[in-house]
Amino acid sequence: MATNNKVFRYTQIANQLEDSILNNVLKVGEKLPSVRLLSKQQHVSPSTIFKAYYQLEAKGFIEARPKSGYYVCYRYAERPAPSKSSPTQPNIKSIDTSEIIKELVELRSSENIIKLSSAVPSPKLLPLAKLNKCVAEALRNEKDLLAKYTHPQGDPEFRRVIAQQLLNWGGNFRADDLVITAGCMEALNISLLILTQPGDVIAIDQLTYFSIHQAVERLGLKAVSIPISETGLDIPFLKKAIKKYPIKAGLFVTNFHNPTGICIPDSQKKALVELMTAKQIPIIEDDIYGELYFGKNRPSTCKFYDTEGWVLYCSSLSKTIAPGFRIGYCQPGRFVEQFAHQKRILSLTTSYLPQAALLSFFKKGRYDFHLRKLRSALHTQALRYSQCILQYFPNSIYFRMPEGGFNFWIEFPKHFDSYELFRLAKNQQISIAPGQIFSVERDFKHCIRLSFAEPFTIEIEQSIKQLGKLAHGLVTSTS
């Protein structure tokens, strides 16, 4: 599979200047060297410097002033984190699905609403024309493609290409080690099905994607929520939970966690695998956002540290290239036979056409190029959105700049009602995700998840401004 890792000179210069701004070497309001001067210093053409400055301007780091030059304008600064109260003892929680989720899901189909709640890439960021060509090419090359099933574990050649892609974080797998699924949620559901029985206890993140809550509830499982914070997963708390309850499995989102955006440090991933392996408790790892990193290196996975096959690694292509294809995959480790058997029972196999189309896309070497463009666009959008949030939202909020993914997790004062903000925003044709739908305990009612998946526009800015106005009103009325 062809890969082009070339980094253009203007991108290198832009990255150097960006680091200088973030490290406060270049401060807000300071003038940057002129295009002519910097081109001489860097031994490049003026057009290269123009491209570097344009890239920084698009991200919101600098601004051009007519007849004056370029100036640093980046103003993001994290506010002090509010004091948090974390549970001291692990308790089993029954998960109650809310009517709010129904409201939120219904808004997805609305054409007129500004979707600041949707954690999927905007169609504007996807190579849809090329994907359409790959679909046509797959149908042209295999005339009876729509008339047959593929292998129950997925097309062998497509699995081989996915195995190649997993080398990015050190995954060294064969095609036979993988099972293609209908999205990551099917991979997670099958993993829970083969590892648990109704009434069993599992450990999950204290905050996590609401469809995971619904899966746990549907299977009749009990959940022990493990606190997750900016420092990562609370491993000592998990140890207490294992001593207190007969935990059958753990299900954790390890990279650019949904909804908080937190990335569990690699040292914690290693410690988590060592702990669970020693107790022979399987880990279901949801790494659906792992490829959407903004830094120089992809974060690792729990699966990377798994030497005995106790990690069931689940991911998909829905968040990176083709949400509508619903193509996910699992590397189930020692449970591959049970997983493949359950997959056959549930749906026999996964649709062949999207696998064939994506295989064509991958073989042309387009995926890595697309990922680089997508990561750059999302990073730029995160910076632009963050400046608007700081400008228009109440000063009492707290949020961190994410290092990947799609989402901001925004905390308001404890008395704040995020569902009321959701309701008011809905009336203004703006969709956000209230915090309680991500909580096992139905807590975090003072938080919202706000997505930056859509490219930044004047319309987006006006929506964030209106959302900030509504938030100001709620903060004032309840203070």
284-300 pLDDT per residue, tens: 999 999 999 998 899 99
pLDDT of 86 higher than 50: yes
**Model confidence at 4: pLDDT above 60:** no
Instruction: Residue 227: name the closest of 261, 198, 204, 194 by CA.
Output: 204
pLDDT of residue 17: 93
The per-residue pLDDT for range 431-478, each reduced to its tens digit, is 999 999 998 777 899 999 999 999 999 999 999 999 999 999 999 877
Evaluate the CA torsion angle 446, 451, 452, 455 in order and state its sign. Answer: negative
The token pair that represents 67 in the structure block: 């007849």
Q: Is the pLDDT of residue 159 over 90?
A: yes
In this predicted structure, the answer to whether residue 44 has a pLDDT above a threshold of 90 is yes
- pLDDT category at 93 given cuts 50, 70, 90 is low
Handedness of CA 80, 85, 88, 91 (dihedral sign): negative
Largest CA distance in the chain: 70
- Of the candidate CATH numbers 3.40.50.1010, 3.90.1150.10, 3.40.50.300, 3.90.700.10, the domain formed by 92-124+368-478 belongs to 3.90.1150.10
Check residue 77 and give its pLDDT. Answer: 63
Instruction: Choose the weakest-confidence range: 105-114, 165-174, 248-257.
Output: 105-114
Give the 3-state secondary structure of residue 396.
coil
Q: What pLDDT band is residue 65 in, cutting at 50, 70 and 90?
A: confident
- DSSP helix/strand/coil, 402: coil
pLDDT at 79: 61
Q: Is the separation of the CB atoms in 359 and 158 below 8 Å? A: yes
DSSP-derived pairing of the beta strands 114-115 and 92-93: unpaired
Q: Which CATH architecture best describes the domain 140-365?
A: 3-Layer(aba) Sandwich (3.40)
Question: Would you place residue 160 in the very low, low, confident or very high pLDDT band (cuts 50, 70, 90)?
Answer: very high
The pLDDT tens digits of the residues spanning 300-323 come to 999 999 999 999 999 999 999 999
| Residue 401: alpha-carbon gap to chain centroid | 13
Say what the pLDDT of residue 354 is.
97
Task: Among 73-87, 102-116, 306-320, name the one with the lowest average pLDDT.
Answer: 73-87
Percent of the chain exceeding pLDDT 90 equals 75
Q: 163 and 178 in contact (C-beta within 8 Å)?
A: yes
CB 430 within 8 A of CB 464: no
Strand positions, DSSP E, 38-193: 62-65, 69-72, 92-93, 114-115, 179-181
pLDDT at 1 over 50: no
Q: What is the pLDDT of residues 222-270, one digit of tens each?
A: 999 999 998 999 999 999 999 999 999 999 999 999 999 999 999 999 9
User: Can you name the residues that pair with 224 across neighbouring β-strands?
Assistant: 92, 203
pLDDT of residue 30: 84
CATH of domain 9-72: 1.10.10.10
Rounded to the nearest 10°, the torsion over CA 333, 338, 340, 345 is -160
Instruction: Say what the pLDDT of residue 432 is.
Output: 96
Cβ atoms of 250 and 191 within 8 Å: the answer is no
Q: What is the mean pLDDT of the chain?
A: 91
Query: What pLDDT, on a 0 to 100 scale, did the predictor assign at position 84?
Result: 58
Sheet holding 433-434, edge to edge: 407-411, 447-451, 433-434
Condensed to tens digits (0 to 9), the pLDDT of residues 418-430 reads 999 999 999 999 9
Cα 1 from chain centre? 25
- Per-domain residue ranges of the chain: 9-72, 92-124+368-478, 140-365
pLDDT of residue 83: 54
pLDDT-derived band of residue 408, with 50, 70 and 90 as boundaries?
Answer: very high
Is it the case that residue 95 has pLDDT exceeding 60? no
Q: Is the pLDDT of residue 108 over 90?
A: no
Give the confidence band of 27 by pLDDT, cuts at 50, 70, 90.
confident
Q: What is the pLDDT of residue 90?
A: 79
Whether this prediction's pTM lies above 0.75 is answered by yes
**pLDDT exceeds cutoff 50 at 362:** yes
Give me the DSSP letters along 78-93: PPPPPP----SS--EE
Q: Would you state the pLDDT for residue 85?
A: 54
Which amino acid, residue 469? Answer: K
